[in-house]
Amino acid sequence: MTEDVRYRPANVGDVAAIQRVADDAWHAAYDDILGEDTVEAMLDEWYGDDAIEAGVEHEAQDFFVAAVDGEVVGYVHAGPHPPRRVHQVYRLYVDPEHWREGIARNLLAEVEQALYDRDVTAYEAEVLADNDRAVAFYEAVGFEQVDEQETDFKGTRAAEYVFQKRL
């Protein structure tokens, strides 16, 4: 089915579609881990119009979408992560109706090419330790766990793995 998917840089016209995918994917992935109220609070904080537009327009960041018949069904956003002096995947989500179609893998390929073009030699992703699907995904696409940390999500603490991949 992925042959019908088009991958392209995101633009400000994609904001509402990115927010819709985020809402569906976050609830499917995290309600059982963080709780629905925490998920809603995080979506409100991290997925406001200004936050998405800033990522799309930032010259040091790369933001791509996957679209099927013109409808955004996934996205990836990566850029510098100064506290760790590396680049990082900030967001990588696919509409749950399109999970297991290779879309996330192809979105990562778009980011990897963009990072390679920026002379980046490695990048990271932070993944909730209890998100078995995401942990398996990152391991399957060549990431290795390099650290573990405790993160506060609006008062809900959760373990996260830090994965790294060399380009």
Query: Collapsing DSSP states into helix, strand and coil, what is residue 94?
Result: strand
CA-wise closest residue to 8 among 50, 53, 68, 81: 68
pLDDT digits (tens, 9 = 90+) for 87-145: 999 999 999 999 999 999 999 999 999 999 999 999 999 999 999 999 999 999 999 99
For residues 12-20, give the mean pLDDT.
98
Angle at CA of residue 120, ends 129 and 63, nearest 5°: 65
Is residue 160 in a domain?
no
Is residue 156 in a domain?
no
Q: What is the CATH number of the domain that holds 71?
A: 3.40.630.30
Please check the confidence at residue 3 and state whether its pLDDT lies above 70. Answer: no
Is residue 128 in a domain?
no
Give the C-alpha separation, 47 to 4, whole Å: 27
Is residue 163 in a domain?
no
Is residue 30 in a domain?
yes
Mean pLDDT of the chain: 95
Quote the distance between the C-alpha of residue 147 and its chain's center.
Answer: 18
Phi, psi of 86 (to 5 degrees): -140, 175
Decide if 122 contacts 166 (C-beta within 8 A). Answer: yes
Is residue 136 in a domain?
no
Is residue 102 in a domain?
yes
Give the C-alpha separation, 6 to 25, whole Å: 19
Please check the confidence at residue 38 and state whether its pLDDT lies above 60. Answer: yes
Domain holding 49, by residue range, is 2-121
Is residue 143 in a domain?
no
Overall pTM surpassing 0.85 (yes/no): yes
pLDDT at 82: 84
Q: Tell me the pairing of strands 122-128 and 86-94.
A: parallel
pLDDT digits (tens, 9 = 90+) for 45-86: 999 999 999 999 999 999 999 999 999 999 999 999 887 788
The number of folded domains in the chain is 1
